[in-house]
Amino acid sequence: MGMSLGQLSELSEGMNLHESKRIITQANINLYAEASQDFNPIHIDEDFAKKTPLGGTIAHGMLILAYVSQMMSAAFGRSWLAGSKLNVRFKTPARPGDTITVTGRISRIERSEGQTLIHCDVLCRNQNDEAVITGETSLRVEGNENSC
């Protein structure tokens, strides 16, 4: 599967990736704990979490980051799965009930002989417009004009 954002030659700096919204639930968090084997009580034990400075359970940062990865694979297909990088900061925890909006924007395109390097800024924010994740991604795509 190739890129779904468009042909490589159609990509331009400043182009937005498809935005997505996710509602975080405790059920999602519990499923993720099982799937990832990360049972830190701050994510799954409401009684424990209430007694911490966070005041309640929070989603795993890697769960929210998975949504960023999904946005990237939706945009760039299999190219995202190998030869790509991400670098993010977890700024504010995501909590059950939060609506997380995942956005991305192509910040730079470097075309060279036989390949193209695409850089994106990524952002996840909650319903209060607080940044949950900020960061950058990059990926290498074979071809530099009309192929992808």
Partner 1 sequence: MSEEQKVEYSQLEADYEFPPSRYKLDYSSVAAYLKAVEDTSSLYQDTELVPPMAIAAYAIAALSENISLPSGTIHVSQELEFIDTVGINDTLTSYARVSRQQSRGKFHLLTIDFNVFNQRQKAVLAGKTSFILPEQTGGR
Of the pair 38, 121, the CB lying nearest partner 1 is at: 38
Of the pair 54, 108, the CB lying nearest partner 1 is at: 54
40 binds partner 1 (CB under 8 A): yes
Residues 6+ apart with CB under 8 A from 66: none
Q: Which residues within the stretch 47-66 sit at the binding site for partner 1 (CB under 8 A)?
A: 48, 52-53, 60-63, 65-66
140 bridge partner residues:
117
Taking residue 89's Cβ as centre, other Cβ atoms within 10 Å add up to 10
21 binds partner 1 (CB under 8 A): no
One residue of 1, 14, 128, 146 binding partner 1 per CB under 8 A: 1
Alpha carbon distance 17, 35 (integer Å): 27
Structure token pair of residue 33:
């704990």
Q: Which residues within the stretch 77-136 sit at the binding site for partner 1 (CB under 8 A)?
A: 77-78, 80-90, 93
Q: Provide DSSP, 80-126.
A: GGSSEEEEEEE-S---TT-EEEEEEEEEEEEEETTEEEEEEEEEEE-
Q: Which stretch binds partner 1 (CB under 8 A): 5-13, 67-75, 102-110, 111-119?
A: 67-75
Of the pair 35, 145, the CB lying nearest partner 1 is at: 35
